[in-house]
Amino acid sequence: MYLAKVYITLKPTVNDPQGLTIKGALHTLGFPHVEDVRAGKYIEIRVDESDLNTAKDQVQEMCRKLLANPVIENFRFELERA
């Protein structure tokens, strides 16, 4: 069994209203040196596979088909034995 840690972020050219809101809130809270904030998603998935390459392929397919929108988001993931 493997644990996939999936990180999904907006592509650099895509406007990030959530990041702008967070940046404004941080400035209000006394952190004026924050220049930029980009918000994203973090997902953990347990994959019941014994073969690392099969688990990688499955997580890659999950990201492409459902978890990330390839038009506006990038994704990466890490796999570790669970």
DSSP 35: -
| pLDDT (0 to 100) of residue 44 | 98
The Cα 12–Cα 3 span in angstroms is 27
pLDDT tens digits, one per residue of 35-74: 999 999 999 999 999 999 999 999 999 999 999 999 999 9
* pLDDT (average), residues 6-24: 97
- The topology under which CATH files domain 2-81 is Mth169; Chain: A , (3.30.1280)
User: In a 3-state reduction of DSSP, which class is residue 78?
Assistant: strand
| pLDDT (0 to 100) of residue 17 | 97
**Domain edges within the chain:** 2-81
* pLDDT (average), residues 4-8: 98
In this prediction, residue 22 has a pLDDT band, given cuts at 50, 70 and 90, of very high
| pLDDT (0 to 100) of residue 74 | 98
